[in-house]
Amino acid sequence: MLAGWNQCSPLVTSSCADHLSVLDLLIGMLSITRRSPFCCRSHLFTVLHVALEVAVYAEYTWEVFPYCWELEFHLLLLLLPYLLLAGNIGCFVLCSRADPGIITKSNHASLMKIYAYDGALFQKGVRCPTCDMEKPARSKHCRFCNVCVHRFDHHCVWVNNCIGAFNARYFFFYLFTLTVTAATIAIITAAFLIQVVLLTNMLHGSYIDDQGQEQAVEIRFLIQHLFLTFPRIVFMLGFVILLTLLLGAYCCFNLYLALTNQTSNEWHKSRRSGCSHHPTLQPCDRQVVYKNIYSKGAWMNLKEIFKPPTVLEKEKKT
């Protein structure tokens, strides 16, 4: 069933560019090309992901936690990042190990009945040359995993798996717990540093500058002083704040996609073709105008993420 799971696709071309998530765009920041050795499934980013998490938690455990404990922070608040970590690891394992909706010879016929072809992004009769079968609507061949995936969203290098119909809910929870974890650590760490500033009455102090003049403490001096006193803590705080902002934005984007019943792949494709969801407002110069036919209202769309439709349900309705 999983034949070719770990092999490179022979059809890797620039035209088969998969949609990259914001997280995946970090690859670009690291100046890593999308060609070999990153054309196959690889544990590289999973290891990087784990290493970053270990580094943040090591710093939190060995410095932030004991300092906060001394300052009499509530124990439950200090333990919250560990509880969130447990939840995040659970979602991560589910997301990376679950079948995203790999299309095989045995489930192909039933998956063909789930979604209708919209005639714009998904045309009837298009075959996947690698898997040698007709592509069901909303599916896509993943060049990393070398399989076609039902309701393909994107390939996430951080969980080293495709995100499709059957693991989208785990990915959603994974993203959410990761964002909340980063935000919680950022809040606790910031609260600790603010407490230090208040207890030492630093804001009302003064310092002697290079010219020997006495100066009142301002924000720039305060940040420099905190960085020199707690370098690792301030560095970690900067990192988790950045992470919270990036993940928060990506979480919101995913929520928007879920509420409008679009996958990242469809959103990307519809934008790339220059078409609008409101063809009357923004006519497209191409012959085919994209209209999202899969949306059934915000609540039902959200439900679909957590309970993907099956053929049985589909047949019951008709």
292 interacts with Zn ion by CB under 5 A? no
**Closest separation between CB of residue 162 and Zn ion, Å?**
3
Out of 145, 156, 162, 251, the active site residue is 156
Please compute, for residue 266, the number of CA atoms within 13 A of its CA located in the half-sphere on the CB side. 30
**Closest separation between CB of residue 223 and Zn ion, Å?**
42
Smaller CB separation from Zn ion, 152 or 172: 152
User: In this structure, how many other beta carbons lie within 10 angstroms of the beta carbon of residue 30?
Assistant: 9
Query: Would you say the C-alpha torsion 29, 34, 35, 40 has a positive or negative sign?
Result: positive
**SS3 at position 7:** coil
Chain residues 131-160 in contact with Zn ion, contact rule CB under 5 A: 131, 141-142, 144-145, 148, 155
Contacts with Zn ion by CB under 5 A: the residue count is: 10
Is 156 annotated as catalytic? Answer: yes
Smaller CB separation from Zn ion, 11 or 86: 11
CB 149 within 8 A of CB 161: no
CB 115 within 8 A of CB 151: yes
**Closest separation between CB of residue 115 and Zn ion, Å?**
16
What's the residue count for the chain? 318
Bridge pairing between strands 206-208 and 161-163: unpaired
Which helix (DSSP H) or strand (DSSP E) does residue 96 occupy? helix 75-97
Smaller CB separation from Zn ion, 114 or 145: 145
Smaller CB separation from Zn ion, 144 or 192: 144
Q: Among residues 123, 126, 131, which one has the least CA distance to residue 9? A: 131
162 interacts with Zn ion by CB under 5 A? yes
x-marked contacts with Zn ion along 234-273 as a string, rule CB under 5 A: ----------------------------------------
* Interaction site with Zn ion (CB under 5 A): 128, 130-131, 141-142, 144-145, 148, 155, 162
User: What residues are annotated to the active site?
Assistant: 156
